[in-house]
Structure 1
Amino acid sequence: MFLENLGIDALDPLRAGRFWEAALGTTTLTAEPDIVETRLQITGEAYLDLCFARVPEVNRAPQRLHLDLRGGEDQEAIAERLRSLGASDLDIGQGEVPWTVLGDVEGGAFCVMEEREAYRDTGPIAALPMDSADPQRDVEFWAWLSAWVPAEGGAPTTLRHPSRRGPLLELCPEPEPKRPGAKNPIHLDVRLEPGEDPDEVAAGIAARGGQELHPDWGDLPWRVFQDPSGNDFCVLPAPGAAS
């Protein structure tokens, strides 16, 4: 398995996708009214795709996962460029902090970060902070699921691609438990490698404290799960596998 996607709810995937492509310098894979996919290259072979899927209404559930963009010494200039692309300043109760909190063109919160040594070689996305009821437990779960490895970061429990390049996945103490029935506005997707058995992976997820969900979304080529803290994620079939 490997971590492949950030799945992001969008009222207008084309508008949201254009904003984030301009913000990150990613490469378009798919651009249709209901789905936009754009690729952030991590290394020659490793990548992270951002997938914007149309939803019928704004998802107002708390963002348990968000993007921290690398700012560094150019933090204010980068924030200003993002404002020119359609971002707006947000007050989410952050108080006096060294990072800048913005909303994207659909109001989703993200941050432009100050200089940190841990962000060396991350590229434009410095980190993906995700809420966790038990960061030490969940970092072990996500290390198994994503094939990412422990790394230094802004959170004590942090993972990174084995190349030591690309964004950090930071497991952060949650401000509140996951709300029952609430769908994460942003979630992670992992993809199976050829030869991996989907049922064995599902059993491994359950054995490690996760659970499979069965939403009434029709026939899907992927399976929907929650991690031990209730964070939604999908397991995508191996390339070339039958749906």
Structure 2
Amino acid sequence: MFLENIVIDAVDPQRLGRFWEQALGTVPLTDDVAGYETRLTVPDGPVLDLCLPRVPDPSTAPPRLHLDLSAGPSQAETVERLLALGASHLDIGQGDVPWVVLADLEGHPFCVLAERDAYPDTGPIAAVTVLSAEPERNGAFWAGLTGWQEYAGTAPLSLRHPSGRGLVLDFFPTAEPKDTKNRLHLDLRLEPGDDAAAVFDRVEALGAVRIGQDWGDLPWTSFTDPSGNEFCFLPARAE
């Protein structure tokens, strides 16, 4: 199994998907009534798809996962470019910090980071920040799922693809209770030969909880991680 998707719930997937495509320089994959999909490839690193499913009423709760974008040497120019694409400044009480907080076209917060030694060779997304009740436990859980390795980042626990390239998963603590579905989540893909039942038993033994759902016959299986953050397993692709 491997990490395949960053999923962002959207009221208008086409409009929001094209914003993120322009913001990140990704390659379009799928554009239909159900959603929008675009691919981020980091040379010699991971390939991740940004998937934007249509969700009529996405959560407006403070996000427990968000994107941190890499601005490289020119943070101000990157911010101006994103504002020109339709992003807006957002005050979430961040105060005087070295990053700029923006909102995408549907109000979801993300950050634009100044150049940092901790995020070399990431591509346009420096990190996905994951808020967790227990960052070390949650990071270890995700390391077991993805095969990503501990990395000397800026969080209590950070993970990175074994190539040492591409975005970083940063696990930070939060004391806030989680009571609504995350608007952003991660998807994993089973590989040919994986025994889905055995994989699901193993991740449940590691602290995942399967989500009971009444949304019909879906091709994915939904869970929450040990901190209650949703994620999904997609079936293996045909060989």
Q: Normalising by structure 1, what TM-score?
A: 0.95
CA distance in 1, matches of 2:119, 2:163: 14
Shift of 1:44: 4.8
CA distance in 2, matches of 1:219, 1:45: 34
Where does structure 2 lack aligned partners over 5 or more consecutive residues? none
CA distance in 2, matches of 1:58, 1:193: 30
Q: What amino acid does structure 1 have at the position aligned with 2:215?
A: W
Q: What amino acid does structure 2 have at the position aligned with 1:191?
A: R
What residue in structure 2 maps to residue 221 of structure 1?
219
What residue in structure 1 maps to residue 7 of structure 2?
7
Q: Does 1:235 align with 2:233?
A: yes
SS of 1:218's partner is coil
Residues 5 and 50 of structure 2 are in contact (CA less than 8 Å); yes or no, is this contact kept in structure 1?
A: yes
SS of 2:66's partner is coil
- Residues 232, 70 of structure 1: alpha-carbon distance in 2 compared, 3 angstrom cutoff: same
CA distance in 2, matches of 1:163, 1:109: 28
5 Å-filtered alignment, 1:151-170, equals: 151-170=151-170
What are the Cα deviations for residues 211-237 of structure 1, in whole angstroms up to 9, with x where unaligned?
Answer: 101111111111000000000000111
Residues 44 and 165 of structure 2 are in contact (CA less than 8 Å); yes or no, is this contact kept in structure 1?
A: no
Q: What amino acid does structure 1 have at the position aligned with 2:82?
A: L
Shift of 1:61: 2.6
Identical-residue share of aligned pairs (%): 56
Shift of 1:205: 1.2
5 Å-filtered alignment, 1:22-41, equals: 22-41=22-41
What residue in structure 1 maps to residue 129 of structure 2?
129
Q: What amino acid does structure 2 have at the position aligned with 1:202?
A: F
CA distance in 2, matches of 1:192, 1:121: 27
Q: Does 1:211 align with 2:218?
A: no
SS of 1:16's partner is helix
Where does structure 1 lack aligned partners over 5 or more consecutive residues? none
Residues 46 and 166 of structure 2 are in contact (CA less than 8 Å); yes or no, is this contact kept in structure 1?
A: no
Residues 44 and 163 of structure 2 are in contact (CA less than 8 Å); yes or no, is this contact kept in structure 1?
A: no
What residue in structure 2 maps to residue 70 of structure 1?
70
Residues 12 and 33 of structure 1 are in contact (CA less than 8 Å); yes or no, is this contact kept in structure 2?
A: no
What residue in structure 1 maps to residue 143 of structure 2?
143
What residue in structure 2 maps to residue 21 of structure 1?
21
Shift of 1:58: 3.5
What residue in structure 1 maps to residue 181 of structure 2?
183
Shift of 1:72: 3.4
CA distance in 2, matches of 1:45, 1:217: 35
CA distance in 1, matches of 2:147, 2:24: 24
Shift of 1:34: 2.1
What are the Cα deviations for residues 86-123 of structure 1, in whole angstroms up to 9, with x where unaligned?
Answer: 00000001011010000001111000001210110000
- Residues 17, 198 of structure 1: alpha-carbon distance in 2 compared, 3 angstrom cutoff: same
Q: Normalising by structure 2, what TM-score?
A: 0.97
Shift of 1:45: 7.0
Residues 45 and 164 of structure 2 are in contact (CA less than 8 Å); yes or no, is this contact kept in structure 1?
A: no
RMSD: 1.2
Q: What amino acid does structure 1 have at the position aligned with 2:123?
A: G
CA distance in 2, matches of 1:42, 1:236: 22
Q: Which runs of 4+ in 1 moved over 6 A?
A: none
What residue in structure 2 maps to residue 108 of structure 1?
108
Shift of 1:163: 0.5
What residue in structure 2 maps to residue 96 of structure 1?
96
Q: What amino acid does structure 1 have at the position aligned with 2:27?
A: T
What are the Cα deviations for residues 157-202 of structure 1, in whole angstroms up to 9, with x where unaligned?
Answer: 00011101000001110241211xx211000001111111111111
CA distance in 1, matches of 2:132, 2:162: 22
CA distance in 1, matches of 2:73, 2:155: 21
